Each structure stands twice: as C-alpha cells, then as structure tokens.
Structure 1
Amino acid sequence: MHVPDGFINAPVSAAAGVVAAGAVAVSLRGARRELDERTAPLAGLVAAFIFAVQMLNFPVAAGTSGHLLGGALAAILVGPYTGVLCVTVVLLMQGILFADGGLTALGVNVLDMGIVTTVVAYALFRGLLGVLPRTRRSVTVASFVAALVSVPAAACAFTLIYWIGGTTDIPIGKVFTAMVGVHVLIGIGEAVITALTVGAVIAVRPDLVHGARGLTSSLKLRVDGELVDAPAPQPAAPAVAARSHRGIWAAGLVTALVLAGFVSYYASANPDGLEKVAADQGIDKKTEEHAAKDSPLADYGVKDVSDARLSGGLAGVIGVGATIVVGSGVFYVVRRRRTPDAPAPEKESV
C-alpha cells in the first residue's frame, strides 16, 4: 500500500507529513517507557523482519497481490509506540534506498501504514484480551483479529486522504469499495503472518512479547482432589537468559535474511492492492517519477547485476542489513535517553 508521488496533492501531503512527524515525536517519547534490556535489541530485529516479509507479495485475487503492512505485528511484539517507529524505519529505508513509496508521500505512508495500522491493531488487541481467557492462545487469537482489521482500516484511511487531496477526479464511493474489498483479503494474509509470528515467539520466549505481559496465568496442581496454584518457577540465571535472548535474535535475523535474500524471488509479481485499484480506477493518472529512481537498489534489485535472482537476493540482504543497523541505532539512542527515574516495564510472562 505504498503511496507514490502524485496520488495526493502537495498541501495534503504536507499536512499528512506534519501529523506523521508529530506522531513519531510522541512515539519517540513513548518508546522510552517500552524499551528495556529485552525489547531494545528485539525492536531493530522486528523492523528488519517486517522489511523482509514485505518483499513477499502473496496472491489474493485475480491479478492482485498483497504484502504484510506490519503495524499489528510490531505493536504486539514491542509495544505501540515502538511499533510506530519500527514501521517508520522500514518506510524510510524503502523510500530512500529502494524507490518504493514516494518521498513527498512519505508522511502519507507513515500515517497510513505506520500509525493507523498500529493504533487500530493495538487498541483492538487490548480490547480482545480484556474479554478473552488469560492464556497464550488468546494472545495469538487477538493478534489474528487485530491484524486482520488493521489492513482495511488503513485502506479506509487512504480513501479519506484521497477524498481530501486526491489529484484525480474519481468518485470516492468507487475508490472506497475497491480499496476495502481487496484489502479485506490482504488482511487475511496479514493476520496469518502476524498470528504465526507472535505464536512462535510466545512459544519460546513469552516474556519478549510486549502484548502478552500482564497475562500471567499460574499453573494448577491437583492435590487431594483440589486444584491449587503451583509454585512460581524460578527466573532463569542472567547468563542463561542472555544466551536465550541472543538465540532468538540470531534466529530472527537468519529468518529475515533467508526470506529477503532467497524466498522473495518467488513472491507474486502481480500489482498489490493499491496499485491494482489505482490502475483500475484511474487514480494513477498523475503519478510522478520517484526522486530515487536511479538509486543502485531501485525496485529491489542491484544495479548492473544482470541475474534477476542474484540481484533481488542481494538487494533484500542489503535492505535487511540497513534496516537492522538503522533501527537498532534509533532504538539504542531512544533507550539511552530514557530518564533515570522512569519506571521500568514490569517483567511479566504469560
């Protein structure tokens, strides 16, 4: 759903940029409370993983594909404020290095793909956890539903922005119907990816899932025919916990590199939901060339590398590397700027 230059007029694009910048500033402050010794390293990895999975377009309908937006996944894994920053880093890398998503439309993309998806998904996720049983399975189910709804919510947000500042005269009802219709289908793929990823992390290190904290459910033992609470497990030694954390980080990085460097070659070549709707409805009549169209990595390929598989794979690996370096740097600085008297996040597990 990367909006290119020319879809939205300059005044509305600028206004969206101001709103997005304000939201990012708020997120920088909020992330200081979310990031700790566990989540700060994970946040950079989450951004890199989202970058990698966004390269994997999957078919959703005749001639249309979709890809992960990632707002729900990031918010649930590392918190809503940090999640906004994760998606923002991904969009910056894509726009600057890969000419994906217009530079003048960067504010629109951050607002639509980063802020709307994250806020809607996390609000729904927390609401569902309030009524579901306090179990790990409930976290996975809530992740699925939140991710599913976040994608058509972003489609509605784009439609609203287009209605206010679209550069072509297209009936807004047609745009709304087409955008929401195809993005409901894309939302199913988003939900599956999000639920599988959250479920996989919970199975190994539930304490690393921000959205699962505070859902402690004590084990029960049957003693003389009655259920009683089992003794609380002793926390792992710091050295053991550190090794486990490094193992998760390494496994996540390898997974992202494999997805971007190898699996992405087999992604669907069909236009994504927004591209398809834009072509069918005529929204793209005034699309402008990307300012970074001559980038050595434009269109997710390495310039002067003729082999398509190698070119795309190298571009994916470079993108994952750049995203994790930039993202980790941002989150390290945010973590370091945390005030000494700020309360540390509670160390709770599911």
Structure 2
Amino acid sequence: MLAAMDTQAMHIANGIVNGPVSAIFAVIAVAALAYCVRRGRDDLDERLAPMAGLVAAFIFAVQMLNFQVLPGISGHLLGGTLAVILVGPWVGALCVSTVLIVQCLLFGDGGLTALGLNITNMALIGTAAGYLLVVALLKVLPKTPASLSATALIASIISVVAASQGFVLEYALGGTTDLSLPTISGTMAGVHILIGIGEGLIAATTVATVARVRPDLVYALRRFRSAAPTPTEVPA
C-alpha cells in the first residue's frame, strides 16, 4: 500500500504482516469469496455475465496504472465501487478478487502470502463500503445518470479510504516493523483520499455514460427500479 513499505503500490508484499495474521485473513477471504460465489450465481444472467468480464478487464487495466501521490508514496485505483454499481456487490467482489489473483500469480504484484490480506482490503472491504454507500444514496436520490455519477464519486472516495484502513487494522494485528500506527493510519487516509478522488472521477464518468446508453446494464439502477416513480427518470 505504501511505497515506502512496499514498492508494489497498494498491494501488500510478503513479510509486511506476519504469517499467522496473514493466514487468518486468507481464511476470511476464502470464506467470503465462497459466499459471494453462492450469492452471485443468482444475479448472473445474459446481461450481467458479459458485463462482469468487461468490468474485470477494465479494473485490471486501471490497476496497472501506478502513480506517485507524494514523495515515496504511490498508489493505484481499486475499481470496487465501479464494479458494484455495474454488476452488484457479489459479482463485483469476485471481479476485483480475480484481478488481484491474476496480478499476484502472473505479475508478482503483491505477495502470495499476503493475497488474503489484499483480497480482504480491496475486494471485500472496498466493495462492501462502496455498495453500502451506493444503496444509502440511491434510496434518497433520483435514479438519473447525474445522481448515479455523484453517487459513484462519493462512494469511490469512501471505499478507497476504507480499504486503506483495512491494512492499518491488519498491520496493528501483525505488523513486522516498528512504524507508528497513527502515522500509518493518517498517511494512508490522506493519500487514499486523493486516490479515491481520481477513482471517483473515472467511475462517475463511466457509470453515467453506461446509464445514458444502456441503463438496463447498470445493476444499481435495476436494483432500485421498483423505487423509481417513473420509467422515464433514466433517459435512454
């Protein structure tokens, strides 16, 4: 997550968190992903399946764009909020997890022993925080591309910061260096607010574009269709 600790940007490398804590979070990640598979199977249809592939490919591409935020600190986009808006929380978490697994196994991006930690932070905490905020906002906002765009921006910022604080918790439980927790937490939050803003702008533009062209492909709009007063709220 921090380049000063890990040159692989947001991903945690081997040895940053000790073995027992890494193993615990690996078990948590496996159990959570198994649950996502079971729930996601009910959502998959002829529209969602190809969209899930496109979302995973898009997330893979944007996560490869590492950038320096501050001297000695770099990061990348996560894509969790974009995924949950387009394909839902269960399939969205699986999309992000698939990207993380491929990056770890094929590109060495993030440590193998830390894979459970990375999945927990970026695929589980990030997507869960994003989806909960999307649900809350879309219950009170009109179901329009503009509202969806604002929702994506806000939820992206919160979800990225939440994912970064997941690392702080893991480091508090099993960190292997003597860095100060308040320093890590503050730095992670500050840096990832900036990352979240960048991610939010991309997510906002993407979901608004899809909502205008094919609103039927946006999971979040279908999820709240029954709450929409009229079918003309989201223009084709």
Same fold (TM over 0.5): yes
Decide whether aligned partners of structure 1 residues 65 and 196 sit closer, same or farther in structure 2, where only a CA change above 3 A counts.
farther
Identify the residue that residue 5 of structure 2 maps to in structure 1.
Answer: none
1:86 matches 2:95 = yes
Letter paired with 1:82:
V
Identify the residue that residue 37 of structure 2 maps to in structure 1.
Answer: 28
CA distance in 1, matches of 2:12, 2:143: 39
Identify the residue that residue 20 of structure 2 maps to in structure 1.
Answer: 11
Task: Identify unmatched segments of 5+ residues in structure 2.
Answer: 1-9
Identify the residue that residue 231 of structure 2 maps to in structure 1.
Answer: 218
Moved more, 197-206 or 75-84: 197-206
Identity of aligned residues (%): 52
Q: Pairwise CA RMSD of aligned residues?
A: 1.8
1:99 matches 2:103 = no
Decide whether aligned partners of structure 1 residues 134 and 45 sit closer, same or farther in structure 2, where only a CA change above 3 A counts.
closer
Identify the residue that residue 312 of structure 1 maps to in structure 2.
Answer: none
CA distance in 2, matches of 1:134, 1:86: 25
Equivalent position to 2:64, from 33, 47, 55: 55
1:139 matches 2:152 = no
Identify the residue that residue 224 of structure 1 maps to in structure 2.
Answer: none
Larger Rg: 1
Identify the residue that residue 166 of structure 1 maps to in structure 2.
Answer: 175
CA distance in 2, matches of 1:90, 1:8: 21
Q: Map of 1:246-261 to 2, 5 A cutoff?
A: none
Whether contact under 8 Å (1:212, 1:349) holds in the other structure is: no
Identify the residue that residue 201 of structure 1 maps to in structure 2.
Answer: 210
TM superposition score normalised by structure 2: 0.89
CA distance in 2, matches of 1:71, 1:197: 13
CA distance in 1, matches of 2:73, 2:26: 29
CA distance in 2, matches of 1:90, 1:218: 35
CA distance in 2, matches of 1:200, 1:96: 33
1:191 matches 2:217 = no
Deviation at 1:65, TM superposition (A): 3.6
Whether contact under 8 Å (2:210, 2:218) holds in the other structure is: yes
Query: What is the aligned residue count?
Result: 223
CA distance in 1, matches of 2:67, 2:55: 20
Would you identify which runs of 4 or more consecutive aligned residues in structure 1 move more than 6 Å? none
Letter paired with 1:218:
P
CA distance in 2, matches of 1:218, 1:46: 26
Equivalent position to 1:69, from 78, 85, 100: 78
CA distance in 2, matches of 1:78, 1:125: 13
Identify the residue that residue 115 of structure 1 maps to in structure 2.
Answer: 124
Q: Map of 1:318-329 to 2, 5 A cutoff?
A: none
Deviation at 1:146, TM superposition (A): 0.5
Letter paired with 1:29:
R
Letter paired with 1:21:
V
Task: Identify unmatched segments of 5+ residues in structure 1.
Answer: 221-347
TM superposition score normalised by structure 1: 0.61
Deviation at 1:66, TM superposition (A): 2.9
Deviation at 1:63, TM superposition (A): 5.2
